[in-house]
């Protein structure tokens, strides 16, 4: 879904023009009216793609900042999910003494043993996630900018090394990997740098997504697939769903959606389907799913 009323883009200005003025010229807007969100919306439009690498990188950074601001307003104050760990006290600063568990261990003994002293402490409840995002031609423009906000929501909620983002059209490509601590701004920039083109190969997305998730070492791992369930390239994706410990499908509803396939994928992946009524609701819906899996 493109933003209505956007003018077609002008020819790319010569290299060497001031970056902001060059972007304004390209997008046919006044430089004072140009903001990061409008850049994010235009970056993936096929008629607005920027060939000059330096100008494109500059535009992507401005766009990523605007995308992260939207995601941060949605997420609110960041507070990591935590859990209580109880273990034998090895150092005096290793946590707070668990009096009840320690008494259970020492009762009836003439002398306490080293492992009888139990400490408890709060640690982050880590969860590793691979997010699979459709970047076929129908996603160009505003849809891709919104998908970048959704990815930013995940990037803000998770530890940097706990997120992999896979984009897919005719083929799939990982823009960030598990155990690689890419900052959220770089995750967004790479998403907006992807060519938005081609058809929808869900099989390729699940194959690469499962391979990415298998790189992880945390037993708490999940895949999140954003799709309308309409496969226009590749083979049957259903045999790949069982490779995920959990596979959640965010079904973007439209007139051509295939909810039956989405349900079959989620069932095979021990997950669930979450309808997204309008594409603009995707970031908020993804936040709901993320909060659920981080419990």
**151 and 61 in a common domain:** no
pLDDT at 4 over 50: no
**149 and 37 in a common domain:** no
**253 and 182 in a common domain:** yes
When divided into structural domains, the chain yields a total of 3
Model pLDDT for residues 238-274, shown as the tens digit of each residue? 999 999 999 999 999 998 999 999 999 999 999 999 9
- Which one is predicted more confidently, 27 or 86? 27
Give the per-residue pLDDT at 122: 66
Give the per-residue pLDDT at 185: 96
**87 and 34 in a common domain:** no
**211 and 158 in a common domain:** yes
| 244 in Cβ contact with 223 (< 8 Å) | yes
Two structure tokens written together for 194: 């992807």
**279 and 139 in a common domain:** yes
Bridge partners (DSSP) listed for residue 130:
164, 223
Give the per-residue pLDDT at 2: 39
Average pLDDT over residues 110-137: 83
Is residue 1, in this structure, part of any structural domain at all? no
| 183 in Cβ contact with 144 (< 8 Å) | no
Give the per-residue pLDDT at 8: 84
**180 and 284 in a common domain:** yes
Q: Which run of H or of E encompasses 40?
A: helix 36-43
Number of other CB atoms surrounding residue 55 within 10 Å: 19
**32 and 88 in a common domain:** no
Give me the domain span that covers residue 46: 19-75
Query: What is the spatial distance between Cα 50 and Cα 35, in angstroms, rounded to a whole number?
Result: 17
Sheet holding 273-276: strands in order across?
172-176, 163-168, 128-134, 221-227, 247-252, 273-276
Model pLDDT for residues 190-226, shown as the tens digit of each residue? 999 998 999 999 999 999 999 999 998 888 999 999 9
Could you tell me the pLDDT band of residue 101, with boundaries at 50, 70 and 90?
A: confident
pLDDT at 26 over 60: yes
Is residue 45, in this structure, part of any structural domain at all? yes
CATH number at residue 258: 3.40.50.410
Is residue 34, in this structure, part of any structural domain at all? yes
Model pLDDT for residues 37-68, shown as the tens digit of each residue? 999 999 999 889 899 999 999 999 999 999 99
> What is the reported pTM?
0.83
Is residue 217, in this structure, part of any structural domain at all? yes
**132 and 107 in a common domain:** no
Longest dimension (CA), the chain: 86
**168 and 207 in a common domain:** yes
Please tell me the number of Cα atoms within 13 Å of 13 on its side-chain side: 16
Q: Which run of H or of E encompasses 154?
A: helix 142-157
**279 and 171 in a common domain:** yes
Average pLDDT over residues 24-44: 92
| 98 in Cβ contact with 118 (< 8 Å) | yes
| 165 in Cβ contact with 191 (< 8 Å) | yes
- Contacts from 55-62 at CB under 8 Å and sequence distance 24+? 55/12, 55/15, 55/19, 55/22, 55/23, 56/193, 57/189, 58/19, 58/23, 59/19, 59/23, 60/189, 60/192, 60/193, 61/185, 61/189, 62/36
Residue 153, by phi and psi: left (phi above 0), alpha (psi -120 to 50) or beta? alpha
Number of other CB atoms surrounding residue 211 within 10 Å: 15
**241 and 212 in a common domain:** yes
């Amino acid at each position: 879904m493109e933003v209505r009323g956007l003018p077609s883009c002008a020819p790319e200005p010569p290299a060497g023009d001031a970056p902001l003025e060059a972007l304004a010229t390209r997008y046919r807007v006044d430089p004072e009216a140009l903001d990061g969100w409008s850049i994010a919306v235009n970056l993936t439009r096929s008629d607005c793609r920027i060939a000059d690498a330096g100008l494109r990188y500059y535009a992507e950074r401005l766009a990523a900042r605007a995308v992260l601001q939207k995601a941060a307003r949605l997420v609110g104050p960041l507070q990591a999910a935590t859990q209580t760990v109880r273990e034998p006290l090895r150092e005096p600063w290793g946590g707070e003494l668990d009096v009840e568990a320690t008494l259970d261990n020492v009762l009836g003994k003439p002398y306490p043993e080293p492992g009888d002293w139990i400490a408890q402490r709060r640690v982050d409840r880590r969860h590793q996630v691979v997010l699979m995002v459709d970047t076929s031609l129908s996603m160009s423009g505003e849809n891709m900018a919104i998908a970048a906000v959704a990815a930013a929501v995940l990037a803000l909620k998770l530890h940097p090394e706990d997120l992999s983002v896979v984009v897919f059209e005719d083929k799939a490509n990982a823009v960030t990997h598990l155990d690689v601590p890419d900052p959220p701004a770089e995750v967004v920039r790479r998403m907006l740098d992807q060519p938005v083109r081609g058809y929808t190969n869900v099989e390729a997305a699940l194959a690469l997504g499962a391979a990415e998730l298998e790189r992880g070492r945390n037993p708490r791992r999940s895949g999140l697939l954003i799709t309308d369930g309409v496969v226009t390239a590749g083979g049957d994706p259903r045999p790949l769903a069982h490779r995920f410990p959990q596979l959640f499908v965010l079904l973007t509803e439209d007139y051509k959606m295939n909810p039956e396939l989405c349900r079959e994928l989620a069932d095979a992946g021990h997950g669930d389907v979450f309808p997204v009524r309008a594409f603009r609701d995707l970031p908020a819906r993804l936040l709901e799913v993320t909060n659920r899996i981080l419990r």
